[in-house]
Structure 1
Amino acid sequence: MTGRDGPPPPPLDQVLLAALAEGTSAGVAVLDTELRYLYVNPALERLNGVPAAEHLGRTIAEVLPDVDARVDVLRLVLADGHPRETTSSGQTRAPSGLEKRYWHGAYHRLELNGRIHGLVGIVLEVSASRQQQRELERARQHLSLLDTAATSIGTTLDMDTTCRELAEFVVPDLADLASVEVFPPVVGPSVRPAPAGVLRLRRAAMAAVPRLRDAVGQFGEPGQYVDYQEDAANPRCLAANQPVMENLYSDEQISRSAPDPERVAAYRVLGLHSALVVPLTSRSHPLGTLTLVRAGDSPVFAEEDVVVARELAGRAAVHLDHARHYAREHGIALELQRSLLSEPRGRHPHIEVATRYVPADRGAVVGGDWFDVVPLSDGRHLKAMGDVMGHGVEAAVAMSHYRALLRLLAEDDLEPHQILERLDLMVERSGLDRAATCLLAVVDRFHSECQISSAGHLPPVFIDPYEGARLVPVPVGPPLGTGFGGYESTTVSCGPGTIVFMYTDGLVERRGEDIDVSLNRLTSLKVPSSGRLDDLLEDTLERFGQDAEDDIAVLASRIRNDPG
C-alpha cells in the first residue's frame, strides 16, 4: 500500500511536529512517499548546513548531493514497514575539518489512520566515534607492524639483505614505494668522489606496489649510486637527523624531494604526491635513509606515520650497524687473506703451480685457509696447505704468522716432519692461541719422490695422467700449536706428470656425511683434456665446491717437463 492510494493525506501538523522535535539535539526529518522532505528540525538544519525552507519538497540527493544516504534502505522501510537503522556518509554544506563525515539514522514508516504518509528519520552524527575507531584500528595495525618487524628485518648479517627486508616490509602497509639508500662501504670497491655540494648514496634496496613496480626501474636499480643535490629531502634529513615529510603538490615541492630536476616530470606522471624520508641512524652514526612515497589514491603521510616509520628505521638501523661492522671486518679479513695468499716469489722454474681461494659466501666469516710453495736446494720444493682454526681478522692474522714461520724454517732444508715439530714448538712458545692443521709435501724432481707429513690435515690426492687419482695415506699428527709433537714423514713416488692436489676441509666436509665418503669423491679427479692445472681446479670447484659451508683453498702442482 502506498501514499498514492485513496485521497491525499491530511497536511502535517507543523505545530505538533515542532513541539515534538525542535527541542532535541538529534536531527529529525519527515519524508513523503517519494522521499522528499516534508519537515526538518533545527538540529538537522545545522547538521546539513541548509535552511529548513530549502529542504522542503526536495529529495535528499537534491539537497545533499555529496551524501550517500542509503536510499535503498529507506525504500525498504516504506515497502515493508519494518524499522531499520543504517549509517550514511559524505559531506554536507556545514563546515567540517573532517575528510569524511558519518551519520547514524533510525527510520520508521509514518502511518496515520491506516494510510502511509512517508518516513520519519532520526539522525545523529557519529563522525567522532568513527574517527576514533579508525585511529584505534590504525594504532593496532601499527603496533602489529612493529611487532612483526622484529622477526622480518635483520634476519642475516648481510647489509643489502637487511635493506631489502626493510623496503619490502613497509610496502604496502606504509608506502606505495620505498627505497633504502646507504653510504658507500668503507672497505671494498672504490667509489668515484661526488661533486661538491652533492650527497652520494648507494641504493641498497627498492620495493613498490605492483602498479608501480615496472615504472620505478627508471629511477635506478639496487646497487647503483644516486647523487642528491644539497637541497633535496635526503641530504636535509641526514643533516638534521630528523624525518622530512613533504606533500608534493607543486613541481617546486617535488624538486625538493627529487635527487635531480629531471625526476620531477617522472614523479608527476606516476602520481607520486607524498614523501617521507627517515634517517637510518645507530649510535649517533648516520648509515643512510629510508624513503617512503605514496601515490594515486593513497592518503598523504600523517604524523602517526612518521612515528611508525621512525621506529621501524631505528630498529632496522641497529641491524644495519651490525651488518656494517661485520661487512667491514669481513672485507678486511678477505683482503688480508687474499694478499697473503698471493704468489710473491713469481714463477717457479721447476714446477707448475695453480691455486684458488674461495670464501664460502658473503654470509660466512672469512677463515684462515692458506697455502704456499717454497723453492728449496737441489731442485726440491716445499708445498704447504693449512687451515687456522676460527674465522675473521684474527684467523687471517694468525695465518700470516704460520706462513712466515714456515718460510723461515724451510730455509734450513729440514724434512717435513721436522719442520712441523719446530713449527709446533715455536707457535706454542709465541703465545699464538690459534691452532692450525697443516700438510707439507717436499717434492724432489731428480729422484721423482715426495715426502709428506701431516699435522691434523686431510690427505693429498695424487693424479696420474694414466692411472687416475688416488688418496695418499699419511700418518696424521696433532694440529700445530698444541705442543704435543709426534709427526712423521712418508715418502711416495711422484714422477713427472703426476699432479699433487692439496686442499682444505671446506672442499669435502658436508654436514651429515661421513668424511670417508666425501674423500672418496676426490678419487674421480683426472687430468683435464687441456692438460692445464687451472682447468683442473675450476672443474674441481664446480663439481665439489658449490654447496660448501666453509672457505676452500686448493693447490695443484707438478714437475715441469720443460724447466725453461
Structure 2
Amino acid sequence: MSETPTADDRLQVLEAITDAALGYLAQEKVMATILARVRDLLGVDTATVLRHDPSARQLQAIAASGIEEEVFQDVRVAVGAGFAGRVAAERRPVILDQVDETTVVNSLLQERGLRTLLGVPMLAGDELVGVLHVGSVTPREFPEADVELLQLVAARLALEVQIEVAATDRAAAAALQRSLLPGRLPDVDGMRFSARYVPGTEPGVGGDWYDLFPLPGDRLGIVMGDVAGHGLNAAVIMGRLRSVLRAYALEWDDPAEVLSKLDNKVRYFEPGALATVVYGIVSPSRDSVEISLAGHLPPVLAVPGLPAVLVDVPVDPPIGVAGLKRRRTVVEVPPASVVAFYTDGLVERRGQLIDVGLRRLTEVVTPDQPGVVCARMMAALVGGTPAQDDIALLVARREAT
C-alpha cells in the first residue's frame, strides 16, 4: 500500500468489516472472517485478537487467523509484557521488526517465524478492549496507511468483543442466578411461603437473592440479600455469599454472629465487594424470628387486626464495611401474621424518595396467604412497568393455630 491511504484502500477495508453478511454469522465466525479478510488486504501472514481482562491485567487470545494455536493454547500476555502487552500499556500502535525473546513473550510468534509485527489497541472510548496485531514472515515495512487501516478494523472488532462479552456475561449471570435461587420452597410445619424474583431490565441481572433452609433443632433460616453492582461479577459474588452464609448458619445460632463471620470473609477474600443482607432464624415454635440487618431494608410485619409496620430492628453496616459489633433482635410473630422480606428494587424509584415506596409497601402487606400478599405487593409496586433494578421478594406466614 502507499503511505497515504487511498479512497479504494479505505473502501476495501470498510466493506470487509461492515459486510451485511457478517450479521448472519455466529460471534466467533465474525471475528475469524474479519481477520482472514485483513490478512488478504494487508498482505500479512497472521492476524490475532487478544481480549483485555482488566481484573487480571492480562490479554487473552480469543481469535486468530494464520496462527490459530494462540487460541487453542490459551495464550495470555500480561499488560506491559512483550509486544502485545506493550501495545496495551501504551495504547498506541507499535511496529516491531525484531521478533525474539527480548521483544516478545509469546513463543508462538517466534516459532511461526514472524519477522515483523504491527499491533494496535482496540479501544471503546477510554476503555481498553484488547489488542489486534498482524505479522509477516518476511521483513517488511508497515506504512502509516497500514496503521490507519488496521485501526479501522480494531475499532470494529472492539465493538464485536464488547457485544460478545456482554451477551456471554448476561447469559452466565442469568443461569447462575436461576441455579442458586430455591427451585421449590420447602414445606415447613406451621408456616407457608411465597417468593418472587424479577431481574432488572436496565442494568441486567444483578446480585439479589433470597434463601430459605432448615436448621438443626427444627429452626428455619431466612435470607434476603443484595450484592452491589450488576452482571456476572455481582452474580458470582452473590453465589459465594449464599454458600458461605449457609455454612456459617450451621455453626452459629446467632444471626448477628453469622453476618459478622460473613463480613470478615468478604473483607478478606472479596475486598471492595459490598452487600446488604437480612438474616433471620425462625424459632421451632414459629412464634418468633431473630433478625440481624446488615445495611438492608427492614422486613414488614403484618399482624391480624393491626396496620402493617416496618420491623423495628437496628441497621448495622453492610457486608464488606467494617463497623461496630452486629446486633440481633427478637421479633414476635403472632398466629396468622405475615413477615415480608424484599430488596430495594421493589421500593426504590428514580426521582422519588424511598420513604414513598416503603409507605406504599406497608399499605399493601396484609396477614393473608403468602401468594396473595406477593401478588398484591408486585401489582402495587411494579404494576405494568418493567423493573429497573432487580427485585427479590419472600413472604412468610405463620399459620393460625
| Paired residues of 2:303 and 2:334 also in contact (CA < 8 A) | no
Letter in 2 for 1:376: L
Q: Kindly state the Cα deviation for residue 417 of structure 1 after the two structures are TM-superposed.
A: 1.6
Name the residue aligned to 2:267.
Answer: 428
TM-score by length of 1: 0.43
Q: Structure 1 pair 380/559, CA: closer, same or farther in 2 (3 Å)?
A: farther
Name the residue aligned to 2:212.
Answer: 373
Q: Kindly state the Cα deviation for residue 239 of structure 1 after the two structures are TM-superposed.
A: 12
The count of corresponding residues between Structure 1 and Structure 2 is 276
**SS of residue matched to 1:352:** strand
Output the CA distance in 2 between the equivalents of 1:330 and 1:465: 42
Letter in 2 for 1:331: A
| Paired residues of 2:186 and 2:212 also in contact (CA < 8 A) | no
**SS of residue matched to 1:370:** strand
Greater mean alpha carbon deviation, residues 330-339 or residues 552-561: 552-561
Name the residue aligned to 2:370.
Answer: 533
Q: Structure 1 pair 345/314, CA: closer, same or farther in 2 (3 Å)?
A: same
Name the residue aligned to 1:442.
Answer: 281
Greater mean alpha carbon deviation, residues 487-496 or residues 498-507: 487-496
**SS of residue matched to 1:326:** helix
Partner deviation per Cα, 1:94-117 (whole Å, 9 max, x = no partner): xxxxxxxxxxxxxxxxxxxxxxxx
Partner deviation per Cα, 1:499-553 (whole Å, 9 max, x = no partner): 111111111122222222221111111349xx54234323322321335331111
Q: Kindly state the Cα deviation for residue 184 of structure 1 after the two structures are TM-superposed.
A: 6.0
**SS of residue matched to 1:331:** helix
Output the CA distance in 2 between the equivalents of 1:500 and 1:552: 17
Output the CA distance in 1 between the equivalents of 2:307 and 2:21: 55
Q: Kindly state the Cα deviation for residue 241 of structure 1 after the two structures are TM-superposed.
A: 5.7
Name the residue aligned to 2:171.
Answer: 331
| Paired residues of 2:277 and 2:294 also in contact (CA < 8 A) | yes
Query: Are 1:390 and 2:237 counterparts?
Result: no
Output the CA distance in 2 between the equivalents of 1:468 and 1:520: 11
Uncovered stretches (5+) of structure 2, i.e. residues with no partner:
1-6, 39-61, 66-151
Name the residue aligned to 2:248.
Answer: 409
**SS of residue matched to 1:473:** coil
Partner deviation per Cα, 1:455-504 (whole Å, 9 max, x = no partner): 11011111234434211121111111223242211222212221111111
| Paired residues of 1:368 and 1:391 also in contact (CA < 8 A) | yes
Partner deviation per Cα, 1:148-186 (whole Å, 9 max, x = no partner): xxxxxxxxxxxxxxxxxx99xxxxxxxxxx998444689
Q: Structure 1 pair 447/349, CA: closer, same or farther in 2 (3 Å)?
A: closer
**SS of residue matched to 1:506:** helix
Output the CA distance in 2 between the equivalents of 1:183 and 1:347: 48
Output the CA distance in 2 between the equivalents of 1:447 and 1:240: 67
Q: Structure 1 pair 533/241, CA: closer, same or farther in 2 (3 Å)?
A: farther
Letter in 2 for 1:543: A
Output the CA distance in 2 between the equivalents of 1:322 and 1:541: 34
Q: Structure 1 pair 183/364, CA: closer, same or farther in 2 (3 Å)?
A: farther
Query: Are 1:348 and 2:348 counterparts?
Result: no
RMSD of the TM alignment (CA)? 3.7
**SS of residue matched to 1:342:** coil
Query: Which residue among 159, 162, 165 is the counterpart of 1:322?
Result: 162
Partner deviation per Cα, 1:201-234 (whole Å, 9 max, x = no partner): 9xxxxxxxxxxxxxxxxxxxxxxxxxxxxxxxx9
| Paired residues of 2:228 and 2:275 also in contact (CA < 8 A) | yes
Name the residue aligned to 1:360.
Answer: 200
Query: Which residue among 313, 326, 339 is the counterpart of 1:474?
Result: 313
Output the CA distance in 2 between the equivalents of 1:441 and 1:326: 35
Partner deviation per Cα, 1:36-94 (whole Å, 9 max, x = no partner): xxxxxxxxxxxxxxxxxxxxxxxxxxxxxxxxxxxxxxxxxxxxxxxxxxxxxxxxxxx
Q: Kindly state the Cα deviation for residue 391 of structure 1 after the two structures are TM-superposed.
A: 1.9
Q: Percent identity?
A: 36
**SS of residue matched to 2:251:** coil
| Paired residues of 1:383 and 1:440 also in contact (CA < 8 A) | yes
Using CA pairs under 8 Å that are at least 6 residues apart, name the structure with larger relative contact order, 1 or 2: 2
| Paired residues of 1:398 and 1:432 also in contact (CA < 8 A) | no
Q: Kindly state the Cα deviation for residue 394 of structure 1 after the two structures are TM-superposed.
A: 1.7
Q: Structure 1 pair 180/539, CA: closer, same or farther in 2 (3 Å)?
A: farther
Letter in 2 for 1:542: A
- Point out the structure with max Rg over C-alpha: 1
TM-score by length of 2: 0.59
Name the residue aligned to 1:14.
Answer: none
**SS of residue matched to 1:517:** helix
Letter in 2 for 1:540: M
Query: Are 1:558 and 2:401 counterparts?
Result: no
Partner deviation per Cα, 1:399-422 (whole Å, 9 max, x = no partner): 112111211121135222222222
Output the CA distance in 1 between the equivalents of 2:280 and 2:392: 16
| Paired residues of 2:198 and 2:387 also in contact (CA < 8 A) | no
Output the CA distance in 1 between the equivalents of 2:176 and 2:161: 22
**SS of residue matched to 1:537:** helix
Name the residue aligned to 1:456.
Answer: 295
Q: Structure 1 pair 413/351, CA: closer, same or farther in 2 (3 Å)?
A: farther
Partner deviation per Cα, 1:239-282 (whole Å, 9 max, x = no partner): 9869xxxxxxxxxxxxxxxxxxxxxxxxxxxxxxxxxxxxxxx9
